[in-house]
Every structure is written in C-alpha cells, then in structure tokens.
Structure 1
C-alpha cells in the first residue's frame, strides 16, 4: 500500500535501523540513541557526541536546513537517509557556515570518524582513490 507521502520528510524505520546497525558496529561509537523519528544521538569514544537530524528529503535545500535548525537547534549533523537522496551545494555551504555537517547516508558513515573542519568537509574517497589504496 502506498505511503501517501508519509515518508516525504520522515526517515523510514528500516533506514534508521540500518544506520544504527552500521554505527553500533563501528569501534569509535559507544552508543546510539534514537530520540524521536528525526533526532538521533551518536556517542563516540574520545570525541564529541553528534546530535543528528535524520530526514528523507529527496534534495535537501537551504530552506530545509533552516527549517531543521529552527526545529532542532542542537543539531550538528543532518543526514538524508535514502541512497538516491542528496542536497544542494547551497544547503551544504549554509549548514557548514553554522558548524553543521550535511551528509548523505553513506557519507555520514565516513564522517563519523572526524571532528571539526574534517567532519564538516568530509567527502568519501573517489573510485580512483579507493582503487589506488587497494593496489598499494
């Protein structure tokens, strides 16, 4: 049965469970806590906690970031959960200017290892970079 747009902005429960599973298997993550359907806390070993806002917005825009930060000002990371979702460059810049990381699901899994500017600027390695690492 179609979801009638229910998950237009809300992350799907199976996506939240997948994220939680990946994070719990990560050695730097002590715990994860789902606070509500959007808010998720990641307690990292020896690093500041992350207050993550989970969304299912297809393309996160600058106005979406503004809305999220007005609703959840404690947020220091926004993750759009579905594999085909993304964000605009303006949204990424706007979030970074407010010390908030804006990530796709898979990007966040790599960014979780970092703090500060490295966290905000995290980009996954390119295909060429990954191939070079495998071959060295």
Structure 2
C-alpha cells in the first residue's frame, strides 16, 4: 500500500487521475507509488514519471520540494483545473526539462510527441496558461 501523502492531495483527486489514465488513448499502463507518484507507460513505448500535488499556486519552492522528494520526476501536476502555477515556475520547468501543468493540461499534453512542450491554445491560436500570483 502506498504511504500517505503530505501534499494535501485527496483520495478523490488520486482516483480521478487513475480513472483518466486508464481511459486515456495514449496511456498503455501506469503504476502509482508513494501515493501521488505515477510511473506512466505510453503507447509509443516511452515512460514518464509524474507527481500529483495540490497547490493552489504551484511555485518554485514546491517544485524544488517535489524534485527532492521524488528524484527523477519529469512532470509536476497540480490536481485541479482551478489551481495554477506562477510564471516563474512554468519558466523554470521549460528551462529544466520539467513539465509543469494543471491536471487538464497534463492529459492534453500526453497527446503530443513532446508533452513537456505542450501549450493549450484558445480558439484564435493564442496560448492559454494557468498563471496565478504567489
């Protein structure tokens, strides 16, 4: 049994992500470890390591904490679409090969060849980011 997380991620959020992964066209398999860490096998044969957090505004301090607690993490996903991230956090992710997303963005990113570079667009083709001030 995975150990309990101290990131405030509820069981319902974890269950939602598990159901979404099971039904995602680009996900071949996944394993949940440390309660909020997901090792995800993609249908293209690649695998990724994602950590689910519950941060209303995901900032650099939380990113560094996640990297420390989950070595090798490639994606840090905050568990609700009403959450967001700071501009600094998103920029840090881009500069360091780390995907920083809200949960809906993450599932969209899995459809891309380079998921870490995914950016949702509006109807006019403008990028949509979930920026929040810290």
TM-score where L is the length of structure 2? 0.81
Post-superposition offset of 1:96: 2.0
* 2:109 counterpart of 1:121: no
Match for residue 132 of structure 1?
none
Post-superposition offset of 1:91: 0.5
- Unaligned segments of structure 2, at least 5 residues: 126-134
* Aligned mates of 1:65, 1:103 — CA distance in 2: 11
More helix by share: 1
RMSD: 2.1
1:64-96 CA distances to partner (integer Å, 9 max, x unpaired)? 111111221210000000231110010011122
Asked if structure 1 preserves the Cα contact closer than 8 Å seen for 2:39 and 2:49, the reply is yes
Q: SS state of the match for residue 20, structure 1?
A: helix
Looking at CA atoms only, which structure, 1 or 2, has the larger radius of gyration? Answer: 1
The one of 34, 37, 41 equivalent to 1:36 is 34
* Aligned mates of 2:111, 2:45 — CA distance in 1: 9
Asked if structure 2 preserves the Cα contact closer than 8 Å seen for 1:9 and 1:56, the reply is yes
* Aligned mates of 1:70, 1:98 — CA distance in 2: 15
Number of residue pairs the alignment of both structures matches: 122
Asked if structure 1 preserves the Cα contact closer than 8 Å seen for 2:14 and 2:36, the reply is no
- Unaligned segments of structure 1, at least 5 residues: 1-6, 130-136
TM-score where L is the length of structure 1? 0.80
Q: SS state of the match for residue 46, structure 1?
A: coil
1:42-78 CA distances to partner (integer Å, 9 max, x unpaired)? 1101142110011001101011111111221210000
Asked if structure 2 preserves the Cα contact closer than 8 Å seen for 1:10 and 1:37, the reply is no
